[in-house]
């Protein structure tokens, strides 16, 4: 029974994240458009495997992360969060493997972002080396609105990138950042028309794939303190796990499921 269920989850995950290798480029496409590409545990598993494959396979020289449908991703699946909050989460949480895969990635990662990039949808971009966005992109990190805390080392990387003042209002107030502003603030590199987004990301990926991989790897190592990033992720994960089980977070997840605003006034 368990094996059957695992198989079922794995099949869904395979459909919900498309993995494509074409020449030196490995592309991970988020493909759960009816749920705005919200990321399930199984989807994190496929993403983590993809990053591992890129790490291990010397023929792969660049990774592209993109999405199908009108959103990049609505972030972590909130019903998965609700299960963890209720004490019935999965035995293995692949998100940790995915985040550590991003921290450790020594080949370049290019992202193509249109529509909503919520929560981890934005924080994963802090680990991508080239981010292409459309004007309609909306980067949102509503961690405090969900009674949670920043993850994916964003407590460190977001303020390093855009300064504390902007980072705090993104995280604590959930203020969205549009594509144009994302480029102005340095959260993204290229502002692209929607019809050119994929082509631009692939063109950048191919340019990077032609560079000497040894120099690229060494450059990433020099420019990113991956040990500090991994350490920060672990520190955040501890607090995040506590927050997931808090009554405040349970209220936030219940409110989302019931399509109403949360009531945090009851907590002191
Ligand atoms: N987890 C699970 N399901 C999600 C989801 C998420 N993070 N985000 C969206 N969905 C689902 C909705 O429940 C809905 O499913 P349904 O059609 O079965 O009811 C479907 O995706 C479409 O979303 P909907 O809310 O109808 O679209 P919208 O355009 O009105 O709003 C969002 C889109 C992303 C603004 C809204 O869905 C939202 O706030 N999602 C939660 C985002 C979030 O907090 N993520 C976690 C960050 S840590």
Q: Which atom of ligand 1 is nearest to the CA of 116?
A: 34
Q: Identify which of 31, 33, 38 to mutate to test ligand 1's pocket (most ligand atoms within 8 A of the CB).
A: 38
pLDDT at 5: 45
What does the pLDDT look like over 148-178, one tens digit per residue? Answer: 999 999 999 999 999 999 999 999 999 999 9
3.30.70.580, 3.30.700.30, 3.40.50.1820, 3.90.226.10: which CATH number matches 2-193+213-257?
3.90.226.10
Phi and psi at 260, nearest 5°, equal -135, 170
Q: Whose CA is nearest to atom 1 of ligand 1?
A: 77
Beta strands in the chain (DSSP E): 17-22, 25-30, 62-67, 109-113, 116-118, 130-133, 138-140, 177-178, 190-191
The domains of the chain are located at: 2-193+213-257
Cα 21 to Cα 61, 154, 221: the distances in Å are 11, 29, 25
Q: What tokens appear for 259 in the block?
A: 């399509």
Instruction: Output the pLDDT for position 78.
Output: 94
The candidate with the shortest Cα–Cα distance to 201, out of 25, 41, 47, is 25
How far apart, in whole angstroms, are the C-alpha atoms of residue 113 and residue 180? 12
For the CA of 35, the closest atom of ligand 1 is 21
CA separation for the pair 27, 51 (Å, rounded): 10
User: 246 alpha carbon to ligand 1 midpoint, in Å?
Assistant: 21
Dist. CA 54 → ligand 1 center (Å): 30
The one-digit pLDDT tens for each residue of the chain (268 residues) are 344 445 555 556 679 999 999 999 999 999 999 999 999 999 999 999 999 999 999 999 999 999 999 999 999 999 999 999 899 988 889 999 999 999 999 999 999 999 999 999 999 999 999 999 999 999 999 999 999 999 999 999 999 999 999 999 999 999 999 999 999 999 999 999 999 999 999 999 999 999 999 999 999 999 999 999 999 999 999 999 999 999 999 999 999 999 999 999 999 9
pLDDT at 8: 58
Beta strands of 229-268 (E only): which ranges?
A: none
Q: Which residues line ligand 1 (CB under 6 A)?
A: 35-36, 38, 74-79, 116, 118-119, 142, 146
Write the Ramachandran bin of 147: left for phi over 0, alpha for psi from -120 to 50, otherwise beta.
left
Contact 125, 117 (CB under 8 A): yes
Which residue has the least CA distance to atom 16 on ligand 1? 35
3-state secondary structure of 3: helix
**Residue of the nearest CA to atom 28 in ligand 1?**
36
Whole-model pTM: value is 0.95
| Ligand 1 atom closest to Cα of residue 146 | 44
Given this model, what pLDDT does residue 10 score?
57
Tokens 């991989």 correspond to 213
């Amino acid at each position: 029974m368990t094996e059957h269920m695992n198989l079922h989850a794995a099949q869904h995950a395979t459909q919900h994240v498309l993995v494509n290798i074409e020449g030196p480029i490995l592309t991970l496409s988020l493909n759960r458009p009816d749920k705005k590409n919200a990321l399930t545990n199984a989807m994190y598993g496929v993403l983590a495997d993809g990053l591992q494959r890129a790490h291990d396979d010397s023929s792969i020289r660049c990774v592209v992360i993109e999405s199908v449908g009108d959103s990049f991703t609505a972030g972590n699946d909130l019903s998965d969060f609700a299960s963890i909050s209720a004490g019935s989460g999965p035995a293995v949480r692949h998100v940790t493997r995915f985040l550590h895969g991003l921290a450790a990635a020594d080949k370049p990662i290019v992202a193509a972002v249109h529509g909503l990039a919520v929560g981890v949808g934005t924080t994963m971009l802090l680990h991508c080396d080239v981010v292409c966005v459309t004007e309609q992109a909306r980067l949102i990190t509503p961690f405090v609105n969900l009674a949670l805390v920043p993850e994916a080392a964003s407590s460190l990387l977001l303020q390093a990138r855009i300064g504390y003042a902007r980072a705090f209002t993104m995280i604590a107030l959930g203020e969205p950042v549009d594509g144009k502003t994302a480029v102005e603030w340095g959260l993204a590199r290229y502002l692209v028309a929607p019809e050119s987004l994929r082509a631009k990301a692939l063109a950048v990926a191919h340019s990077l794939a032609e560079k000497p991989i040894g120099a690229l790897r060494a450059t990433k190592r020099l420019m990113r303190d991956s040990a500090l990033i991994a350490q920060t992720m672990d520190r955040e994960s501890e607090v995040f796990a506590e927050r997931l089980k808090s009554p405040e977070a349970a209220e936030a997840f219940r409110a989302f499921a019931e399509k109403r605003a949360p009531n945090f006034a009851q907590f002191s």
